[in-house]
Amino acid sequence: MTAENPRSPADRLDDDDYPAYTMGRAAAMLGTTPGFLRAIGEARLITPLRSEGGHRRYSRYQLRIAARARELVDQGTPVEAACRIIILEDQLEEARRLNEQMRRGGDKVQPEAEA
């Protein structure tokens, strides 16, 4: 382990946020095209990390979000609308979580860190 990267490679295998998938691999896993991934990136639904060479890299968490977008698009929802729906669903879930925490008397209500 180095000071720059204190986690071992095995630790990264379980990390949902580790950008392990290339655009081509991500598109193949989702059964979609790289253009679809670019479109949801442009709509700011997900922001892929970049490799040292500048190539897009996706995490498992991002692929789950992209899969949800694909479900909506497959049902006939335009890409931009699908992305907005997912963002609003996420905001609603966060608001519900905060409400529940407040109901339980949580004086220290803090929003979760953004992904």
pLDDT at 38: 96
CB-based burial label for 84 (10 Å; 0-12, 13-18, 19+): middle
pTM to 2 decimals?
0.75
pLDDT at 8: 64
pLDDT at 2: 42
Residue 61 sits at φ, ψ, to 5 deg, of -60, -45
pLDDT at 115: 46
3-state SS, residue 10: helix
Q: How far apart are CA 90 and CA 115, in angstroms?
A: 11
DSSP 105: T
pLDDT at 23: 96
Q: State the alpha helices, DSSP H only, in the chain.
A: 9-13, 23-30, 34-42, 60-74, 79-103
pLDDT in tens, 2-56: 445 556 666 676 788 899 999 999 999 999 999 999 999 999 999 999 999 999 9
pLDDT in tens, 69-115: 999 999 999 999 999 999 999 999 999 999 999 999 865 656 665 54
Q: What is the CA angle 44-49-53, rounded to 5? A: 130
pLDDT at 113: 58
Q: How far apart are CA 34 and CA 26, in angstroms?
A: 8
